[in-house]
């Protein structure tokens, strides 16, 4: 996002900013924080007429039925300070998606662009800085359970400096990565629980009292469970927020790491349950591959990943194995089943990503990965991930559900695998490397989506039953002046670093392949040229709009105006 204004601030800079913003009263309870922000934004944010990139949240993408991530160029036509939201008009979208003309979005989702209409004199540096401060605060400092604090508690004195220091300790690696990863997972879970809690509380508002019948209501029970889990998470986070207790935890982790020989490759046998006969058969198969090696035994995978060494080997029995974190496997190792892949299943209730690979080499083989809950099954950040004889299954419903994302500098190798039921099965970012051999991708919206400078080699592969395209190439190069170029897989022969042979496509509804020109979103130089974007034209009142969930406001009638441009 090189076209937007961004900031890189130190701990002291941010601490000074928040002390200044929250300096209105001696005691600032959490219930007064939003009001303090509205006072600050009233002095620092331009009320309308500026362009911004709207980074659409995943849940909003889901509600609108568009892929995630999606970015949109918008014009801010009004700011609601008390609600910390803005009414925006869509100017341009990057993908081939269709959006209503106007939306009400959180200010934290807007990133002012560097370039603006020169004829409008606005101090966008001030606006961008104010939104950066606001976004950082609500993303990293305010916790979901803070709303339960008593109004006599001074939030700034109790939490500001300690939470800010906690953030920078995680960012700078002072806190060990496993602990930091666990902490981020807890906070993400708490935010999801808070959204569910608010939804349930709204549904239960019509209950006058908690009589016996209401207490037995399943929604009341669910709400109680959410409260209990939130208290548990708060307790864990409070320990790490306290600097003294955090140092104790860090020292303990360092002592444990010194006692372990992390250069030694351990072989873990994961056997959760089964009969004696099944156990003997399982060990007999292991003996064939590791006859003289020392084995370690564990009843569950997730706790083993938290205490294991990088490059360890994990052998799973035929069963369902749940994971809560990638743990040591993210830095390298082997995760394998030695029986039927259909009966050796990896699951997770994590809602973000299931496996996060950032080590030298990770091998996963003979396993079915059920990524029903996670929004993304696997992210390959660095090194190489090899999937051999694996099945990867998504939920088949969400427009934001992705299978494998390969980032720049990372390599993905898929051999004899079956991938299905994702919105996009494989995403290859610029600078990544993908090898696909003797594999099948099916029942997705997009089978494979790659970007410029992604090197991909595919042989003996089948891509079928995709609702959109089998392979989509997103390019900023002007390879086709007439827009997207659709055809069979031979259409992609003009794409550099793309090699394919013996590739089959079947029943891909919009086509086997598409080359989709995708130039960068460019702010409009003259907002007055088009009446739709003229900032002097008053917008319709909110009474003429339908308010949909996820803070998206959709116009009933577009008054004959054309849809936003797709650039």
Q: State yes or no: pLDDT of 565 exceeds 50.
A: no
Q: Is residue 70 part of a domain?
A: yes
Q: Tell me the C-alpha to C-alpha distance, in Å, between residue 298 and each of 29, 101, 270, 316, 355.
A: 47, 55, 5, 10, 20
Is 252:171 a contact under the CB 8 Å cutoff? no
Q: Is residue 27 part of a domain?
A: yes
Q: Is residue 355 part of a domain?
A: no
**Same structural domain for residues 96 and 217?**
no
**Same structural domain for residues 103 and 175?**
no
pLDDT bucket at 540, cuts 50 / 70 / 90 = very low
Residue 463, C-beta contacts closer than 8 angstroms, at least 6 positions apart: 440, 441, 442, 447, 448, 470, 471, 503, 504, 505, 506, 508, 512
**Same structural domain for residues 509 and 548?**
no
Taking the C-alpha atoms of residue 482 and residue 57, their distance in angstroms, rounded to an integer, is 31
Q: State yes or no: pLDDT of 206 exceeds 90.
A: no
- Would strands 267-270 and 110-112 be described as parallel, antiparallel, or unpaired? unpaired
Q: Is the previous residue joined to 69 through a cis bond, with omega within 30 degrees of 0? A: yes
The domain of 204 spans 170-257
Q: Is residue 147 part of a domain?
A: no
Q: Is residue 151 part of a domain?
A: no
Q: How many domains does the chain have?
A: 3
**Same structural domain for residues 136 and 108?**
yes
Taking the C-alpha atoms of residue 229 and residue 223, their distance in angstroms, rounded to an integer, is 10
pTM of the model: 0.78
% of residues, the chain, pLDDT over 90: 55
Q: Is residue 554 part of a domain?
A: yes
Cα 552 from chain centroid? 20
pLDDT at 536: 44
Give burial (CB, 10 Å; 0-12/13-18/19+) of 34.
Answer: middle
Of the residues 207, 230, 257, the one at which a domain ends:
257
Q: What is the pLDDT of residues 115-172, one digit of tens each?
A: 887 766 677 899 999 999 999 999 999 999 998 877 778 999 999 999 999 999 999 9
3-class state of residue 223 by DSSP = helix
Is 238:149 a contact under the CB 8 Å cutoff? no
Q: Is residue 148 part of a domain?
A: no
Q: Is the dihedral of CA 252, 258, 259, 263 positive or negative?
A: positive
**Same structural domain for residues 408 and 501?**
yes
**Same structural domain for residues 21 and 129?**
yes
Q: What is the pLDDT of residues 247-283, one digit of tens each?
A: 888 887 666 655 555 667 899 999 988 889 999 999 9
**Same structural domain for residues 25 and 131?**
yes
Lowest-pLDDT range of 85-99, 155-169, 364-378, 437-451: 85-99
**Same structural domain for residues 408 and 484?**
yes
Helix (H) or strand (E) holding 75: strand 71-80
Q: State yes or no: pLDDT of 338 exceeds 80.
A: yes
**Same structural domain for residues 465 and 544?**
no
Is 400:373 a contact under the CB 8 Å cutoff? no
**Same structural domain for residues 406 and 491?**
yes
Joined together, the tokens standing for residue 348 give: 């997770």
- Would strands 498-506 and 511-517 be described as parallel, antiparallel, or unpaired? unpaired
Which one is predicted more confidently, 193 or 217? 193
């Amino acid at each position: 996002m090189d076209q937007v204004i961004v900031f890189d601030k130190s701990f002291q800079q941010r601490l000074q900013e928040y002390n200044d913003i929250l300096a209105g009263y001696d005691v600032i309870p959490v219930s007064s924080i939003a009001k303090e922000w509205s006072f600050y934004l009233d002095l620092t944010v331009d009320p309308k007429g500026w362009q911004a990139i709207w980074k659409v949240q995943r849940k909003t993408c889901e509600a609108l039925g568009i892929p995630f991530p999606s970015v949109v160029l918008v014009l801010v036509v009004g700011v609601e300070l008390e609600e910390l939201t803005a009414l925006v008009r869509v100017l341009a979208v990057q993908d081939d998606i269709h959006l209503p003309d106007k939306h009400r979005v959180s200010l934290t989702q807007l990133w002012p662009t560097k370039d603006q209409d020169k004829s409008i004199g606005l101090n966008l540096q001030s606006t961008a800085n104010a939104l950066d401060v606001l976004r950082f605060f609500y993303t990293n400092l305010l916790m979901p359970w803070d709303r339960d604090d008593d109004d006599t508690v001074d939030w700034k004195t109790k939490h500001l400096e300690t939470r800010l220091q906690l953030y920078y300790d995680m960012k700078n690696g002072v806190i060990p990565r496993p602990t930091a990863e666990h902490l981020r997972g807890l906070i993400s879970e708490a935010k999801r629980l808070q959204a569910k809690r608010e939804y349930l509380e709204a549904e239960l508002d019509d209950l006058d009292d908690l009589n016996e019948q209401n207490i037995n209501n399943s929604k009341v029970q669910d709400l109680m469970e959410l409260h209990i889990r939130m208290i548990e998470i708060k307790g864990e986070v409070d320990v790490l927020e306290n600097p003294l207790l955090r140092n104790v935890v860090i020292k303990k982790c360092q002592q444990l790491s010194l006692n372990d020989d992390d250069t030694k490759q351990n072989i873990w046998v994961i056997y959760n349950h089964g009969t004696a006969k099944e156990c003997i058969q399982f060990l007999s198969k292991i003996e064939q591959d590791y006859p003289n090696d020392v084995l370690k035994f564990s009843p569950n995978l997730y706790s083993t990943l938290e205490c294991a060494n990088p490059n360890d080997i994990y052998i799973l029995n035929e069963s369902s194995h749940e994971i809560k974190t990638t743990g040591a496997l993210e830095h390298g190792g082997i995760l394998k089943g030695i029986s039927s892949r259909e009966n050796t299943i990896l699951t997770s209730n994590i809602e973000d990503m299931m496996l996060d690979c950032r080590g030298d080499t990770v091998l996963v083989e003979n396993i079915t990965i059920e990524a029903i809950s996670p929004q993304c099954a696997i992210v390959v950040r660095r090194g190489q991930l090899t999937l051999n004889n694996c099945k990867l299954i998504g939920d088949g419903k969400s427009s934001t559900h992705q299978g494998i994302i390969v980032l720049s500098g990372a390599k993905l190798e898929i051999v004899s695998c079956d991938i299905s039921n994702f919105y996009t099965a494989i995403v290859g970012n610029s600078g990544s490397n993908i090898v696909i051999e003797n594999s099948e991708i099916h029942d997705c919206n997009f089978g494979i989506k790659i970007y410029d400078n992604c090197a991909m080699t595919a042989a003996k592969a089948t891509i079928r039953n995709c609702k959109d395209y089998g392979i989509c190439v997103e390019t900023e190069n002007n390879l086709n002046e007439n827009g997207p170029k659709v055809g069979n897989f031979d259409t992609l022969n003009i794409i550099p670093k793309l090699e394919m042979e013996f590739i089959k496509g079947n029943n891909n509804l919009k086509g086997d392949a598409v080359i989709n020109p995708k130039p960068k979103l460019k702010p409009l130089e003259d907002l007055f040229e088009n009446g739709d974007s003229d900032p002097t034209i008053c917008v319709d009142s909110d009474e003429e709009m339908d308010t949909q969930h996820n803070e998206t406001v959709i116009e009933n009638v577009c008054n004959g105006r054309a849809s936003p441009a797709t650039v």
